[in-house]
Every structure is written in C-alpha cells, then in structure tokens.
Amino acid sequence: MRSKIIAGNWKMYKDIDDSVELIKGITTASSGFPPGVKVILCPPFTSLAVAQRLLEGTQIGLGAQNMHHEDEGACTGEISAKMLKSVGCRYVIVGHSERRQYFAESNDFINKKARKALASGLIPIICVGETLEEREKNLTEKVVTVQIKGVLKELTAGDVEKSIIAYEPVWAIGTGKTATPQQAEEVHQVIRKLIGQMHSWATAEKVVIQYGGSVKPENAQVLLTQPNIDGALVGGACLKADSFGQIIKAAAGL
C-alpha cells in the first residue's frame, strides 16, 4: 500500500511570526492521526529554519518550494540543495506550474533540478499538469506525457520510486475550480501507466502521485479515495491550520 502524502505549499505567504503560529496550529491539528499519512510543510525560504526547530520531534516533514540545480555559484536569488539540506529539508517542490508559467521553467530545467535533488538526498515533488486551453483541446494526455517523459529523463527506476509526482491541472490552481474525481483519476492512471512503460509496473505501483488544484476540506475525501490518488499538494487551504487539518483527516479516512 502506498502512503497518503499531504503536502502544504505556502507559496509567498507567511512571515516568520505567521509561520510560527501556523505551524503550531498544524502540529496540534494533526496530532494523533494514523502514521499511514505523511505530512509535509513547504514554507517560504525565510521560515525554513524556524520551521525546522518547531517540527523537530514531530512526524511532519519539511520541504522547500524550489531549488537550483547547481551546487553553488553566481546565481543571485537562488538556493541550492546543500543549503536546503543544511536547514533540515527532506523534500523540495520542483516544476510547479507557477514556476513554469512565470519563470519559463522547461521540462529539461526541471529535470536537472529533480536529478540534483535526488543526488543530494532530497525527495523531489515533481509537478506536471495541463492548462485550460490544452484540456479544452483534448490535449491533456499528450501534454502530461511529454512533461513526464521530460522531467523523469535519465532517472533510474530507483530514483522514480523515491520521487513524488504531483498532477496539478493549471486551470484548477487558485481558481476555485477542481478537476472532478473522475478527471483526476484518469490522469493519475495515465501517469502510472506511463511510468510502467518507462520502467516497470512494479516501479509504477510504488510511486506516490498526488493531486493538486484547489484541494479543500469539502472535496478532499472524494479525491483521496480514488485508487490512484495518493495524496494532495495543497495550496490555499494549507494556510489555515483547521482546513489543512481536515484534509489530513480525510487522507487518514477519519
């Protein structure tokens, strides 16, 4: 059985004081839940150190929202895998649709980040997903296939098994729209089948594939009970401890 993994992507929200308050609320809201659900928090870079201290001794993992594929260098404003490891991160989001859209990140660039993360001992949460225009043109499967092949290029079966894939339909991120459980499940099936073709079905069966895109307490349970949806990459609903706690609870089947 694959674990359910719920990750909260805080994006560019919460200063240090806000982060302390939210983390304390989340640790309280998620206490006592079954160990079958893994929880990851991805606050802004400025809050990583304080988050690490507050999460010490809990079962909640710490992740970052982005990283560069170089170890170091003249890359103003960037951060390396080594830096993330030194502050206690175990996970890192790569290829989020907002990075693709606003910062022109390509599949090849995202692949470099994923490979560097894995080589550095970080677990990448690798994002893929189609735009509204692509879905309306019935290009979802084609677009996601190209993205998966690109971002997983040169990764071994072992690398892929360690990674987390997040399917995020771009049209459902921050819009209030959500893919229906059937739509989300169909794409998750496509991704799992594709990984099976690239490696083996045994590998495909081990890979955690999250859904991301306006996940909230009201729709979490029906999404998370789909056979191939192994968790959620949560945006807006992770910024309040009670709503994030309800999503964790849904993943736990409570």
Residue ranges and CATH numbers for the domains of the chain are 4-251 (3.20.20.70)
pLDDT at 171: 87
As beta bridge partners, residue 9 has 42
Given a cut of 70, whether residue 124 has pLDDT beyond it is yes
Q: Give phi and psi for 169, each to the nearest 5.
A: -65, 120
For residue range 28-72, what is the model confidence (pLDDT) as tens digits?
887 776 677 999 999 999 999 999 999 999 999 999 999 999 999
The reply to whether the predicted model has a pTM over 0.85 is yes
**Cα dihedral sign for 177, 178, 182, 186?**
positive
Q: Is 254 helix (H, G, I), strand (E, B) or coil?
A: coil
Continuous segment of H or E residues that includes residue 6 = strand 4-9
DSSP assignments along 220-235, one per residue: HHHHHTSTT--EEEES
**Tens-place pLDDT, residues 183-217:** 999 999 999 999 999 999 999 999 999 999 889 99
Residues designated catalytic: 96, 168
Q: What is the mean pLDDT of residues 4-30?
A: 95
Higher pLDDT, 69 or 179: 69
